Amino acid sequence: MARFIKFNCTAAANQPEVLIAIDQIAAVTTNGAGTITTVQLNISATSSWVITHTTAAAGDSVVEAIYKAIQSNPGGYVSTVGSPVNTPQVPAVPSISGAQGRTVVTTEAVFVTYIQNTYNV
């Protein structure tokens, strides 16, 4: 099991990578809009990491990605939190002669982007 989970935050100039010790995580929740996930720490009643991100297609996908990162066994100390699907890919309507055994995708899948992070004491 990893000892830390990592977020790669695209717009965080001061701290683009966040490492959170797994043994300090008490709870993980996502707000109603699905754009902010709070990782509550067991250090104090108010200590937490707040991760801002794009909306996931399924409501608790980011929370599930965090729990999967916690449970993973990457063979090292750090497990990176994956990006759930924001918008699923759209395949073309099947045609009799056009695809020839391939699935033609008209719209690429878009994944959640972790944007910013804040530590609350």
Q: What is the pLDDT of residues 49-83, one digit of tens each?
A: 999 999 888 878 999 999 999 888 766 688 889 89
The per-residue pLDDT for 102 is 72
Domain ranges of the chain: 4-120
With beta carbons less than 8 A apart as the criterion, state whether 53 and 113 touch: yes
Q: pLDDT per residue over 76-121, tens digit each?
A: 688 889 899 998 988 877 655 555 667 778 889 999 999 988 888 8
The per-residue pLDDT for 90 is 86
